[in-house]
Amino acid sequence: MESRRWPIVHILGILNMNRTLSPLTAARLKSVSLVICIALLLSGCSSSSDSSAGGSTSEASGLQQVSLQLNWFPEAEHGGYYAADVHGYFADEGLEVTLLPGGPNVPVVQSVAAGRAAFAVTNADRVLFGHQAGAEVVALFAPIQNTPRCIMVHRESGISKLADLRDVTLAIGTGPAFFQYMQKHLPLTGVETIAYPGSIGPFLANKRFAQQAYIFSEPYVAKQQGADPVALMVSEIGYNPYASVLVASRKTLDTQSDLAQRIVRASARGWQKYLDDPAETNALIDSINPDMDAGALAFGAEQIRPLCDREAPSAPLGQMTAARWQTLIDQMVEIELVDADKVSAARVFDDRFIATTTTSP
């Protein structure tokens, strides 16, 4: 069942992505899109109506069916959630979890707030934007403690930290919060910003070119193409939202706290397994994402591991603190993306389901 559903959902999502696909992949996906749409209509789309209630119980497996909406196509940043499926941790909790790949046009937070998905994966700043817009979801578990966002530059540029970013062309997407924070806190002398091209082609052609990136993605591709990239982590200037955060609606927490406890517990086991031994999980992701190869996933897992380190080694995996959330709120207020009277640290997260002890990665 799962082996049929994964490719269908992934291919539908990937048709809307704004990252560059190989011509062969794009042609193959477009040619089968109509068939895939029909297949989806015939096989399980009806489950969305049950998502806000935690889903129905499968007659075949006896497991409670639950949807988990991802914020992007399957990559290493989702590794722990896939590991919970691959290694049976969701099943151990009586759950049959369908992980739904996302993409640039998938309204992740809104889907959970509206009950179209029981749970989702997003980043902490997106949780705040949801509250600002009235879509109140609650963060339950934050495996990636330090943002993977970075600015990628050439080593030949001599730039080794964000404070020294100058005299380059910087390709950046429209309206990312981290860049607005950079503009507020860095001189950016001689930096010319242009629209993010969706590929590393311009980067490869110009040593004075810089671009937005994720530490586990674009630097790997650039290295494979012969470049010597340096990743300047956005967190070094203090902008550091939690990433790959598991969220749910407040209704789910109020009416099905046991379900929330079980999915957090299974996800924590999955993330610990992925950090310890990602190979089997990466093999699954490789099989369902045609743009991820084994090398890229191995690189991604290696890069993500230190991002999951907690401030205190004894702290549980996925921990969150009110202080971190308040810092992020203050930063969003400073750059005028949220209003202080609409977003409260006390309402954006709930850490009661996080285990009190977790083996450190």
CATH number, domain of 28, equals: 3.40.190.10
Per the structure, the complete domain to which residue 154 belongs is given by 149-237
Kindly state whether residue 360 falls inside one of the protein's structural domains: no
Task: Examine the pLDDT at 56 and tell me if it is beyond 90.
Answer: no
Mean pLDDT of 86-106: 96
What number of H helices and E strands is found in the chain? 15, 10
Kindly state whether residue 361 falls inside one of the protein's structural domains: no
Domain boundary among 237, 264, 295: 237
Of the pLDDT bands very low, low, confident and very high (cuts 50, 70, 90), residue 312 is: confident
Whether 199 and 76 share a structural domain: no
Return left, alpha or beta for 348; rule: phi > 0 is left, psi -120 to 50 is alpha, else beta.
alpha
Q: Which pLDDT score is estimated for 67?
A: 97
Kindly state whether residue 11 falls inside one of the protein's structural domains: yes
Whether 59 and 43 share a structural domain: yes
Q: Which H or E run includes 120? A: strand 119-122
Dihedral sign for Cα atoms in the order 161, 165, 169, 172: positive
* Mean model confidence pLDDT for the chain: 85
Whether 164 and 92 share a structural domain: no
Mean pLDDT of 274-303: 96
pLDDT in tens, 228-271: 999 999 999 999 999 999 999 999 999 999 999 999 999 999 99
Which residues lie across from 249 on neighbouring strands?
A: 137
Question: By C-alpha distance, which of 33, 65, 62, 35 is closest to 48?
Answer: 65
Task: Examine the pLDDT at 14 and tell me if it is beyond 50.
Answer: no
As a whole-number percent, the residues of the chain with pLDDT over 70 amount to: 82
Kindly state whether residue 356 falls inside one of the protein's structural domains: no
Provide the domain count of the chain: 2
Whether 335 and 266 share a structural domain: yes
Q: Which pLDDT score is estimated for 104?
A: 86
CA contacts within 13 A on the Cβ side of 55: 25
Residue 244's Cα: distance from chain center in Å? 4
Whether 287 and 138 share a structural domain: yes
Whether 68 and 216 share a structural domain: no
Question: Which of the 8 DSSP states describes residue 13?
Answer: H
Domain boundary among 183, 207, 237: 237
Whether 6 and 127 share a structural domain: yes
Whether 209 and 319 share a structural domain: no
Question: By C-alpha distance, which of 254, 266, 247 is closest to 355?
Answer: 266
Kindly state whether residue 204 falls inside one of the protein's structural domains: yes
Q: Which pLDDT score is estimated for 58?
A: 65
Q: Which pLDDT score is estimated for 146?
A: 98
Distance CA 122, CA 72 (A): 9
77-99: b or e for each residue (b if 16 or more CB lie within 10 Å)? bbbbbbbbbbbebbbebbbbbbb
Mean pLDDT of 291-296: 92
